Amino acid sequence: MMGDAASIARAVAGGELRASEVLEQTLQRIAERDPALNAFTALTVARARDKARRIDALRAEGAPLPPLAGVPYAVKNLFDVAGLTTLAGSRLLASQPPAAADAVLVQRMEQAGAVLVGTLNMDEFAYGFTTENSHVGPTRNPHAPTHSAGGSSGGSAAAVAAGLVPLSLGSDTNGSIRVPASLCGIFGLKPSFGALPRGGSYPFVYSLDHVGPFARSVEDLACCHAALLGRARPVELDGEPPRVAMLGGYFEQHAGAQARRAAQEAARALGARDQVEFGAAAAARAAAFVITACEGSQLHLDHLREQYEQMEPLSRDRLAAGAMLPAAAYIRAQRVRGLAREQARQLFERFDLLVAPATPVCAQPLGSESFELDGRRLPTRANMGLLTQPISCIGLPVVAAPVRGPVGELPLGVQLIAAPGREAVALRAARLLERAGLSVVRATEDMA
């Protein structure tokens, strides 16, 4: 298992490790473990070695190093990487020319000294929750190779959970950071809508898309978030406990026993005394479905008309259906979104943080068409986002944090939800859970 990002950066800055050594160990680990995991879709070896050499040269000269100097990372393959074709999980884009420049967030990671080692698997066009990509194969959960890593940023979560890289970048439209973070047992951050620039990332739903990081610790998550913001220093993680409430109602009714228990334990550890309801949750989720279908289908109309047979079978029918929705449905969904946002604002007048399960159940076997939730059978690909979609719809910042469970259970996490622009509140709450020993990233079995 490799070290965490903060430790690597400190060791490189202090001369205890060379960036080139860290990189070669990373590449060896990827070569040994990724064939079984299938998280990576491309490696950027020459670029990474050049970057590591330059960092080592700076260190030898005694020059100050940037905050993430020598830290390996990888990105979901919808981020532009100069010299690589941006695939967004689809073979339809394979014939496109390589990207001329890095995405904005890749540029910021480069400026922070991080070393890009490759791109990561995802659901085609980010439309899915399982990363069962029919073009390059599924990404497997590091804790259970026969199970899904979640999606659509499944490669990003699995690579971090398996210790291949300490940091990765993904995207979240309806839960695509929080779902795989929960199922793979790591930390993920969906920032406030619009907080991070999306330039150079392949879009899915313009009015819902978020981009953000994955990590194995809260310190690493905060350091990466700072780099993505273009800041030299991360947010201070120490502070007074926030006013916390647990979300009940919809979020209790649509969670299995393990998910409910995780949320209850997290809320209790954070000192929550109240359970409240976000009454617009079901309507917000429905609105997110409509907005996703309408905007996503419009983006891919040409693909639907000209290359339907080459598209991912798991998503093309949903995109085609979305193209037939009337404009009135889209307008109504946006109105519902506004009402839901106002309800959330009222909750945040009373509380700083809301706790909810991140996924209704833990990771399901690959190929599962449905899962059982309290005696009901629900379609897997549509419903792993049951608990994340209402929050995506209104753009709130969320840290997905793992919650320690009984031995033998697959990982499962919670959502730590804050008011717009209050990412620091969610990060500090995650740090409290981590220090209490409740948010623990488990070791994974060797899959080589």
pLDDT tens figures, 191-221: 999 999 999 999 999 999 999 999 999 999 9
Marked catalytic residue, from 51, 76, 201, 297: 76
Cis peptide, bond prior to residue 156, ω within 30 of zero: no
Q: Is 152 a catalytic residue?
A: yes
* Residue 44: its H or E element: none
CA dihedral 337, 402, 151, 222 (to 10 degrees): 70
- Note the pLDDT of residue 190: 98
How many helices (H) and strands (E) are present in the chain, helices listed first? 16, 17
Query: Could you read off the pLDDT of 75-107 as tens digits, one per residue?
Result: 999 999 999 999 999 999 999 999 999 999 999
Question: In this model, does residue 71 exceed pLDDT 80?
Answer: yes
Query: Could you read off the pLDDT of 165-185 as tens digits, one per residue?
Result: 999 999 999 999 999 999 999
Marked catalytic residue, from 148, 168, 176, 201: 176
Q: Is 176 a catalytic residue?
A: yes
Question: In this model, does residue 279 exceed pLDDT 50?
Answer: yes
- Note the pLDDT of residue 446: 44
Marked catalytic residue, from 20, 152, 171, 182: 152
- Note the pLDDT of residue 315: 84
Q: How far apart are CA 209 and CA 195, in angstroms?
A: 11
Question: In this model, does residue 3 exceed pLDDT 90?
Answer: no
- Note the pLDDT of residue 336: 97
Q: Is 182 a catalytic residue?
A: no
What confidence category does residue 232 fall into, taking pLDDT thresholds of 50, 70 and 90?
Answer: confident
- Note the pLDDT of residue 1: 43
Name the DSSP letter for residue 422: -
Residue 275, strand partner residues:
246
Measured at the CA of 210, the angle between CA 10 and CA 127, to 5 degrees, comes to: 115
Question: In this model, does residue 353 exceed pLDDT 50?
Answer: yes
CB neighbours (10 Å) of residue 51? Answer: 23
> Please, is 151 exposed, middle or buried when counting C-beta atoms within 10 Å of its C-beta (0-12, 13-18, 19+)?
buried
> Is the entire prediction scored with pTM above 0.85?
yes
* Residue 100: its H or E element: none
